[in-house]
Structures are given as C-alpha cells and as structure tokens.
Structure 1
C-alpha cells in the first residue's frame, strides 16, 4: 500500500442533508442534521394547506 492511499482516505462529514415530508399533504423540503442525531420530526407551516403540519424525515440525500 502506498503512502498516498493512506493520506487520501475519505473522511465522513459530521452533517447530512435529509428530506422532510409533511404527514398531511406530502410537501417536501430539505434540511441539515448531525449524522449521529435522531431522525427529525418537527411542526412547520405547510404552504399547501395553509396550516401548521407535522414533518417527518424520509431519507438521506447526501453528506454535507
């Protein structure tokens, strides 16, 4: 193994980008969270129904 392979090892980032989806209408938006944190659930304004709605994390998009 060469020294360059050791030095160029990929490092995982501490934060990841995830998709949050409304439980009511299906509206989606992206948000960052720490890699080791629990999945996100929050209440936020939903523009489709013009009310506050529960948003749940659906999937990871990429690391940041």
Structure 2
C-alpha cells in the first residue's frame, strides 16, 4: 500500500437527500439540500388533507454526488 492512499481521505458529497414529513397528516416526500445547511422546513400542499401544511425534515436518506 502506498503512503498517499493512507493520507488522502475520501471527500464527502456536498448534497444530501432528506425525508420530509407533514406535521399534520404524516405525508412524506423527499428533498435535496446542502450538507452544511440548516434543517429544512417549508409549507407545501398536503394531498391527504387537501390543504397547505408545514413539512419538517425527519432524517437523512443518502448522499448525492454533485457532478
């Protein structure tokens, strides 16, 4: 094994996919955000209750390669 392989770390991706969940009904959707950004919160149409609802970030799903 070469010394350069030991010293170089794998670079983390800049974007991650997160699971968003409606506060009212529990409807879920996925969004992509930057790794270093704050957790997402937004208002979006909820098909379960047929009204706008607040969505909050629940958990990280996976990393996204940026090309």
Q: Which runs of 5+ in 2 are unaligned?
A: none
Q: Which runs of 5+ in 1 are unaligned?
A: none
Greater displacement, 3-12 / 15-24 = 3-12
Structure 1 residue runs of 4+, over 3 Å off?
6-9
The size of the alignment, in residue pairs, is 64
TM-score (norm. length: structure 1): 0.89
- The aligned counterpart of 2:43 is 43
- The aligned counterpart of 1:53 is 53
The whole-number CA distance in structure 2 between the counterparts of 1:10 and 1:54 is 36
TM-score (norm. length: structure 2): 0.85
